[in-house]
Amino acid sequence: DLPIALALAAGFARGAINTVTDSGPIYFDGVTLLIFLLLTGRFLQQRGQRAAADATELLFSLAPGTARVIDPDGVEREVPTAALLPGMEIVVRSGESFPADGVVTEGRTTVNAALLTGESRPVETAEGEPVHAGTLNVQAPVRVRVEAAGSGSRLARLLREVEESAARKAPVVALANRLSGHFVMVVLVLAVVTFAIWLPRDSTAAWDHAIALLVVTCPCALALATPLAVSMGVGRAAQTGIYIKGGDVIELLARPGELLIDKTGTLTLGHTALVEWHGDQSAKAMVLTLEAGSSHPIADGFRRAFAELVPPMAEAVSHHVGGGITGRIAGQEVVVGSPTFVAARATGADLWRERVADTLTPVLVAVDGRVVAAAGLGDRIRDDALAALTALRERGWRTTILSGDDPRVAGAVGAALGFLPDQIIAGATPEAKRDAVAARRAAGRRPVVMVGDGVNDAVAMAVADVGIGVHGGAEASLAAADAYLTTPGIAPLVAMVDGSSRTMRVIRRNIAFALVYNLIGVTLAMLGYLSPLVAAVMMPASSLTVVMASWLGRSFEGTDTTAGASTESPVTTGWRAAA
């Protein structure tokens, strides 16, 4: 705005002097028209910027705009969500999203909370249990007492974090801002030079040409070239299901780097299923009994596999974190757990362990100190994993598996997906994952990207240059993530990388246009071929051109985030508690 303000002040001052001295042209009408043209250009420019922001604001449409409130007399009425207050009672029907955070006061249903928690299966919800805005009521109508609505809801807090993070400026944006500052100083010097060159010939022309130079070289186009393209990229990525929290993410992903990727739930489906059973068939019912109260994925796999069995009664059931479960059934001591855990309590563990494929997680069953059965549970590789990883490697990315799973299991997955042995890090704790990411960041100048879905990935994602949370991820990992994929699978990673590269090309094109435009404008003004009014038309036209170039430029639109899916992989992988 500084060159424009100086141009207007100079025109007004020159017109005032000529009015008092009754000599030379009066600039007041020209200044008025100049202001009109400038404001018209600003209006069109802001219209384009507003359209760029609309896509990002679509994030806030995740919660419904209205709610059904139950009055004290039992009458149901519909009100805007913004009118909800703590203590109000609302009814949410089956298939509707909850408009506010609250507690169920009447009814029982299942709630799909994948938006907030990453849990892919609906959760049973009864009276007295909390529900959150944006989650989906799947099964039956319920009444809810509102505890937080609008900006106070859990969903709004998460989206506010995304919105605040989106204000982070990419290094290229900061560079453009610094360049604009230097550019203004150069323009002021050139305006003085132009005035000095033309003053001996014609004082009126000197004023006209200097003012024209100040107007035509407004750095608006240069200042808009980068942030507007980034804003459009972030908004269009959101429309395709890729949520990016800041422009720096786009700049980092536009060039190849180190990609460290979690295995369980990221490269694999994250669903455990019983694949193999060796040994005593009668032990299945015993396993079902002991695993009935466990929340571990392996227990869930057993429960689904043995759903038709009738479990016997058990006594003295004890859960050992990271090991297994022990209990007494019909007077027999039963142990179910990992080979190491069972080997410390029974004989024959090593021989039974060898019966289970290395790609599966082994679980042994011992009765009265002797192993009688072995089970292998697995997790299938995602259909799109191989195609997506191949595409990323072709684009120059170095890929590494960073998993907390058993080395043999992670190795089998890595081999199926084209990883070399030195590109597989297994058995990693959350701290080890963090250290692995930090070491790669310290080792080179290539961006380091961590992709994961669990709480154990959150620290590593926070340390990485870019942390990416995948669909179905835990809320802790999503909070630490710089970007979030709402589409299942890792094919959206390819779309994110390609979209970031295209966005950076738009930025470079905008900057080149702004510099060429200003070079031409300065030349015309200094040579005397440009009047202030023509300059006033050119200036907003240049800004509008940058706006339209960013608006129409191809970045993430048209991206198929499901493209590249390979045929279904028969490989199954094991599940460890640390994975």
The model's pLDDT over 112-127, given as tens digits with 9 standing for 90+, comes to: 775 565 444 567 888 9
Q: Report DSSP state, residue 568.
A: P
Q: Tell me the whole-structure pTM to 2 decimals.
A: 0.60
Which pLDDT band holds residue 65 (cuts at 50, 70, 90)? confident
Token output for 210: 């200097």
The pLDDT score that the predictor gives to residue 419 is 94
DSSP string, 296-327: SHHHHHHHHHTTTS-PPP-EEEEEETTTEEEE
- H or E element in which residue 447 lies: none
Q: Give phi and psi for 364, each to the nearest 5.
A: -105, 150
Select from 353, 339, 265, 272 the least CA-distant residue to 305. 272
Residues 375-407 pLDDT 10s: 998 877 888 999 999 999 999 999 999 987 778
Using CB atoms within 10 A of its CB, is residue 310 exposed (0-12), middle (13-18) or buried (19+)? exposed
Residue 401: per-residue pLDDT: 94
Specify the pLDDT at position 578: 30
Please give the share of the chain, as a percent, with pLDDT higher than 70.
79
Helix, strand, coil % over all residues of the chain, rounded to 5: 50, 20, 30
Ordered by where they begin, the domains of the chain are 2-57+163-230+506-552 (no CATH), 64-152 (2.70.150.10), 238-269+382-497+564-573 (3.40.50.1000), 273-380 (3.40.1110.10)
Q: How far apart are CA 485 and CA 471, in angstroms?
A: 5
The H or E element containing residue 182 is helix 171-198
Average pLDDT over residues 232-245: 82
- Which pLDDT belongs to residue 564? 41
12, pLDDT greater than 50: yes
Residue 129: both structure tokens together: 């249990």
Q: How far apart are the first and last CA of the chain?
A: 55
Identify the residue with better confidence: 204 or 67.
67
Which range among 15-19, 103-107, 449-453, 475-479 has the greatest average pLDDT?
103-107
Nearest Cα neighbor of 313 from 295, 290, 283, 336 is: 290
For 1, 163, 180, 338, 527, the CA distances from 170, given in Å and listed in that order, are 23, 15, 16, 47, 38
Q: Which of 210-219, 282-291, 514-523 has the lowest mean pLDDT?
A: 210-219
Angle, nearest 10°, between helix axes 2-21 and 532-552?
Answer: 160
Task: Kindly tell me if the per-residue pLDDT of 415 is higher than 60.
Answer: yes
Residues labelled catalytic: 262
The yes-or-no verdict on residue 529 having pLDDT over 50 is yes
For residues 301 and 543, the model is more confident at: 301
Cite the DSSP H helix spans in 444-488.
455-463, 475-480
* pLDDT tens, residue by residue, 67-99: 999 998 888 899 998 889 999 999 999 888 899
- Mean residue pLDDT across the chain: 80
Question: Can you give the C-alpha Rg of the chain in angstroms?
Answer: 32
User: Which pLDDT score is estimated for 27?
Assistant: 65
CB 184 within 8 A of CB 263: no
Distance, in Å, from the CA atom of 270 to the CA atom of 264, rounded to the nearest integer, reads 5
Could you tell me the pLDDT band of residue 104, with boundaries at 50, 70 and 90? very high
